[in-house]
Amino acid sequence: MNMPLNNALQIIIPTRGDLCAKGEELFIPGMEYYSVLCKGDEKGITRQDFCLNCWELFARHDFTKSSQTYWKSKVPPKKKAPAAPLHRNEKALELLKASVACDQMEDQAEAFVLAVYLARKKLLYLRDEVLDESGKRIQFYEVAATEEMIGVPKIDLSAIPIDKIQSNLAKKLNT
């Protein structure tokens, strides 16, 4: 189980820009927007974000739905002062970020299990899935509260000791 996975982590998912890609409107808290990912060219993955007005124009003229991934999202409210102890779900998110940065199979499996859990809780949104250069599937999740993007290698859950992973995770989350 200690086989290193080679470098899923080199896929860099761009985060939202500060301005609309077309009209350069500033994205402010509470504002809805659309994001489009373009893949496959030499620059890797590129991203454009549009305010709703510009999106309508863009979607009508320049957008080929069949070849591009897009989603609608919302700029989250301004962050409040940091709260004291981490809520269980926040802990799970921190753990996910730590696990996904490690290249051991167990860590990657934990990361995927956590991502699925957090997506079910609607704290992450699954935005896209791509194949990396080695043919591995990478799922792109957006953190609902911060719009941060996290790439998580997709794991075949039937091929891993899921009970063991879940009980390890439960221990880590309860400490």
Q: Which is nearer to Zn ion, 21 or 144 (CB)?
A: 21
Which of 4, 12, 18, 23: binder of Zn ion (CB under 5 A)? Answer: 23
Nearest residue (CB) to Zn ion, 54 versus 118:
54
- Shortest approach of Zn ion to residue 168 CB, angstroms? 46
Number of residues that bind Zn ion (CB under 5 A): 6
Between CA 106 and CA 161 the distance in angstroms is 9
Q: Applying CB under 5 A, which part among 7-15, 24-32, 124-132, 153-161 lies near Zn ion?
A: 24-32
Residue 54 as a binder of Zn ion (CB under 5 A): the answer is yes
Distance of CA 68 to CAs 35, 62, 127, Å?
10, 11, 12
Which listed residue (9, 15, 25, 68) binds Zn ion by CB under 5 A? Answer: 25
Closest to Zn ion by CB, 23 or 40: 23
Record the tokens describing residue 80, joined without a space: 């409040």
Provide DSSP, 75-140.
PPPPPPSPPSSPPHHHHHHHHHHHHHTS-SHHHHHHHHHHHHHHHHTTSEEEEEEEE-TTS-EEEE
In the chain, the amino acid numbered 67 is S
**Interaction between residue 20 and Zn ion (CB under 5 A):** yes
Query: In angstroms, rounded to a whole number, what is the distance separating the alpha carbons of residues 9 and 12?
Result: 7
* Integer Cα distance of 130 and 153 in angstroms: 10
Residue from the set 13, 45, 51, 113 that interacts with Zn ion by CB under 5 A: 51
Q: How far is the CB of 157 from Zn ion (least distance, A)?
A: 41
In the bound state with Zn ion, the residue whose beta carbon lies nearer, of 48 and 139, is 48
Interacting residues toward Zn ion by CB under 5 A: 20, 22-23, 25, 51, 54
